[in-house]
Amino acid sequence: MSLLANECVREFTYKSFSVEKKEEESVKIKIIDNPEAVAYCSILWPSAPILALYLWEHRSELIGKYILELGSGTALPGILAAKCGAHVTLSESALLPRSVNNLKRTCELNDLNSSQVAVIGITWGLFTSNVLQLKPLDLIIASDCFYDPSVFEDILATVSFLIDRNPHTEFLTTYQERSSDWSIEPLLHKWQLACSSISIDSLGVESDIDINDLVGNHSIHFGLQKIFVSNLPWTISSRELRQYFSGFGNIYQARVVFDRDTGLSKGFGFVTFQSEESVNKVLKSTNHTIEGQPIVIQPTK
C-alpha cells in the first residue's frame, strides 16, 4: 500500500495484563493520518484514541459482536474492535468515495481482509440499501462525529433507525465539546433515545496510558486554536507555512489558500494548533517573517 503526499502511518500499541489468561495481551494498530487534509475524515482527532482505549479496556465484551462504526475516518476504534475479535463494519460518507477507499487501505495496512472487516458508504440520515442490508448490530460506535450541529440530527436519525430495528443495539460515542451552545439532548428526546455519559477518569489506568497525552488541551473551542495568516509570500505552500509555525507548538493543519481556477496562492492561509497555548504564543510574538517577508497574524473570525 502506498502513501499519498502528507500522509503518514501512525502506530498504536495497546497492552494490558489479562488476569484471566495470566498473560500480557497486546495489539498493534496502524492508521493513516493526514494532518494536512482538507477533508476532516483523514485527520486523526483526539476522540478516536479515547474511544479505542475504551474499547480495548472492554475487549472481552467485544468478541463475536457485530459492530458498525459511523464516520470512521482514520478508523482507529473500528480496527481495534476488529483486532479484538468483533465483526466490524467501517463506514464513511457514501458521498466521499475517496474516504471510503481510505478505509479499505487502512484494513489492508492492518492485514484485515474484506471477510473480516466490511467497508461501506453510509450517508448520515439517508436510508440507502447499504443501511437497510446491515445485519442486526450489537454496537454502533462513532468518534468525533458531532462536530457540526447541522448534521447532529442526521446522525441520530441513522442511529435511531438502527436501534429501532434491533433494540438491544447500543451506541457509544466520543466527541470534543466545541461549543457550550451545542447539545444533542433535545434531538435525543425527539428520536426517543436515552443516553448516559461514561466517565473516562479511570480510562488508561489498566494500560498505563495517560489520556491527557491523547487528548492534549482539546476541551477548548476551535476558534481559539486557529489563526488567520496573511501577507504570505506568493510562493510558499502549506508545507512552508507548517514549517514556520511548528516552532510554536503541535500543528493539526496548516493550509495556504489557493485560487481554485488559477491555482495561484491567495497570499493567506490558516494554521490550526493542537492547543490554545500555541496560539497565544504566536499572537504574543512579533516580527513574524517567512522568507524575509513580514507576515500578518490574526485570530480567526
Partner DNA sequence: GTTGAGCGTT
Query: What is the binding site for DNA (CB under 7 A)?
Result: 38-40, 96, 226, 228, 230-234, 253, 255, 257, 260, 262, 264-268, 270, 272, 293, 298-301
Q: Which is nearer to DNA, 175 or 270 (CB)?
A: 270
* Side chain identity at residue 37, one-letter code: A
CA–CA gap between residue 103 and residue 39 (Å, rounded) = 14
Rounded least distance, CB 297 to DNA, Å? 9
Among left, alpha and beta (phi > 0; psi -120 to 50; other), residue 109 is alpha
Q: Which is nearer to DNA, 71 or 204 (CB)?
A: 71
Q: Which is nearer to DNA, 265 or 275 (CB)?
A: 265
Helix (H, G, I), strand (E, B) or coil at 242: helix
Q: Which is nearer to DNA, 215 or 257 (CB)?
A: 257
Q: What are phi and psi of 236, to 5 degrees?
A: -85, 150
Rounded least distance, CB 145 to DNA, Å? 13
Rounded least distance, CB 106 to DNA, Å? 18
Rounded least distance, CB 71 to DNA, Å? 12
Let me know if 132 is exposed, middle or buried by CB neighbors in 10 A (0-12, 13-18, 19+). Answer: exposed
Q: Which is nearer to DNA, 207 or 300 (CB)?
A: 300
193 touches 161 (CB < 8 A): no
Q: Count other Cβ atoms within 10 Å, centred on residue 196.
A: 4
Rounded least distance, CB 17 to DNA, Å? 41
